[in-house]
Copies of this chain bind each other. A is one copy, B any other.
Amino acid sequence: MERHFDEELSGLKSRLLKMSALVEEVISRSVKALVERKAELVEEVIKNDEVINMLEIEIDELCLKLLALYQPAAVDLRFVCSAMKINNELERIGDQAVNIAERAREVIKEPLLKPLIDIPRMGLLAQKMVKDAIDALVNKDDVLAGEVCRRDDEVDSLNNQIFRELLTYMIEDPKTITRAVELILVGRHLERIADHATNISEDVIYFLKGKNIKHHLEDQ
């Protein structure tokens, strides 16, 4: 029984890693579609979302099966429950990447508004947060998880900067408005991805320390 449970648990971990790798890939491709103006990447991101959605259901069902069959306790119970939550966060990150790809599809139909510098930077930061949050889970590294939470502020302020800059474009030339609004929304989507990565890190800390740090990180 014990051995079976351990096998199932390692199957769960490897599926979460696969899910995370897929999600990191769609973040990267959606931003690339926008920056390099490649419509074929938009369609790739949308197609890959199907795979991510199916994997989410598979992981969810595996978690329920583990709870039902093995009735894990203590740290194992926390791991399975955290895995359910993290799985859900990863799927939502995939949805945000689809949103970015859909924005990219509109933006690249029109002339370039400006060279995009901060958006790809923000994309890389957000993607790294997702990667590190999952690494923190796999390596049981609560220090790394805490660091990911703190990086959220950096993404937020970059998003604010993008927002303000695009406002000035719109005010100077109304012809830029639709494109600028699309880019503002891309900034928001990336900010949401960073939020989800922060949620994952909080779940990791909960799993590792049995302590809920949500909503009062500043007290840490």
**In the assembled complex, A71 has its CB within 8 A of some CB on chain B:** yes
Q: Which secondary structure dominates where chain A touches chain B?
A: helix
What residues of B have a CB within 8 angstroms of the CB of A60 in the complex? Answer: 212
What residues of B have a CB within 8 angstroms of the CB of A57 in the complex? Answer: 212, 214-215
Interface string of A70-112 (1 = CB under 8 A from B): 0101100110010011001000000000000000000000000
Q: Which of B54, B71, B178, B188 contacts A71 (CB 8 A)?
A: B71
What residues of B have a CB within 8 angstroms of the CB of A84 in the complex? Answer: 81, 84-85
Structural contact, A77 and B73, CB atoms closer than 8 A: no
**Which A15-67 residues sit within 8 Å CB-CB of chain B?**
50, 53-54, 56-57, 60-61, 63-64, 67
The minimal Cβ–Cβ distance linking A3 to chain B, given in whole angstroms, is 20
What residues of B have a CB within 8 angstroms of the CB of A214 in the complex? Answer: 53, 56-57
Structural contact, A73 and B68, CB atoms closer than 8 A: yes
The minimal Cβ–Cβ distance linking A53 to chain B, given in whole angstroms, is 4
Binds B, one of A115-123, A124-132, A167-175: A167-175
Structural contact, A77 and B81, CB atoms closer than 8 A: no
Contact sample, A vs B, 9 pairs, CB 8 Å cutoff? A54-B215, A57-B214, A57-B215, A64-B81, A68-B77, A88-B88, A167-B178, A171-B174, A181-B181
